[in-house]
Amino acid sequence: MHGWWQDHTSWLTTAQRVREKFGHDCLLLDWPGMGLSETPRADVMGADLLLAALRRTLERVGWADGATPLTLCGCSLGGAIAMRYTSTWPATVDRLVLIAPAGFDEKRPSLIFRFLIWLNRHTVAAAPASASAEEAPAWPKAHWLLQQLRLVRTTPRYDAELDWFQTAAARRPIRIVCATHDELHNAYLWAGGRRADPTFRLTFFCANHGLLCVSIARLKLWEDAENWHGEAVPSSKL
């Protein structure tokens, strides 16, 4: 699952390599209002909409019942939704792979993030609630901006629910890749104090948030079998 202002192609290389090496089916999606997905109304855009979209998609392909081993992979915003999905339907998720995830300890949000929240509070509340992109052709860019700001504001945070995350990690393998110079989210601060904790598999990448989010393929996550349920399969069986 991709991050803010991205689309499914950010995971395309990784998905192809996982398919080639392990024979697993991989599902890529575009969040509502991003990539090839339709644009929702600004007043309904938010984490709940993304969570529902993920649930519907997994139900459609038959991966939502817990019978199929499921690894959720999420970058930035996608990481926050992956964690929220796991907390909502814990029995259906076997593994988590999180890249620079949003939603971790945000007790001291970055200056950029605080500015986005401030901008949200001073724009979304004053905007027409029911206007869609088609209903408001005179201000499509403003409509899009309101969507994204509302999404930032509703992104789930786990600074008050880290006990859940600790419990979740005890039940399933969790791989976390953090940017050491992340200017948006503080996952690296949370993870830095848990380097010796065997519950989590932590990797620190020398980059800022944006660079890590566009460099998923360079992480070569497909080389680690623990991320993907077991051993590689011979190419003749693919």
Question: Does the structure show a pLDDT above 90 at 99?
Answer: yes
Domain-embedded: residue 180: yes
Q: What is the CATH number of the domain that holds 212?
A: 3.40.50.1820
Per cent of the chain over pLDDT 70 is 63
126 or 17, which is more confident?
Answer: 17
Q: Rounded CA gap, 25 and 183, in Å?
A: 34
Q: What would the pLDDT profile of 71-86 be if each residue is shown by its tens digit?
A: 999 999 899 899 889 8
Please state the rounded mean pLDDT for residues 41-66.
89
Domain-embedded: residue 55: yes
Domains held by the chain: number: 1
| Residue range(s) defining the domain that contains residue 194 | 8-237
The pTM score is 0.79
Domain-embedded: residue 35: yes
* Amino acid identity, position 86: T
Domain-embedded: residue 214: yes
Question: Does the structure show a pLDDT above 50 at 139?
Answer: no
Q: Extract the tokens encoding 208.
A: 């800022």
Q: Look at residue 183 in the predicted model and tell me its pLDDT.
A: 77
Domain-embedded: residue 50: yes
Angstrom distances, CA of residue 236 to CA of 20, 21, 22, 23, 216: 10, 11, 12, 10, 27
Question: Does the structure show a pLDDT above 50 at 235?
Answer: no
Q: Rounded CA gap, 110 and 101, in Å?
A: 14
For residue 74, what are the β-bridge partners?
98
Among the listed residues 175, 213, 183, 167, the one whose alpha carbon sits nearest the alpha carbon of residue 108: 183
Band of the pLDDT at 168, cuts 50, 70, 90? low
Question: Which residue shows structure tokens 């948030």?
Answer: 209
Q: Rounded CA gap, 71 and 94, in Å?
A: 6
Question: Does the structure show a pLDDT above 60 at 129?
Answer: no
- Residue 101 near residue 184 (C-beta atoms within 8 A): no
Q: Which stretch of 49-58, 90-99, 167-176 has the lowest confidence by average pLDDT?
A: 167-176
Angstrom distances, CA of residue 82 to CA of 25, 95, 142, 165, 203: 18, 10, 28, 12, 18
Q: Look at residue 132 in the predicted model and tell me its pLDDT.
A: 46
Q: What would the pLDDT profile of 202-234 be if each residue is shown by its tens digit?
A: 888 889 888 999 999 999 999 988 888 755 444
Question: Does the structure show a pLDDT above 50 at 167?
Answer: yes
Domain-embedded: residue 18: yes
Domain-embedded: residue 94: yes
CA atoms within a 13 Å half-sphere pointing along the CA-CB vector of 18: 24
Domain-embedded: residue 3: no
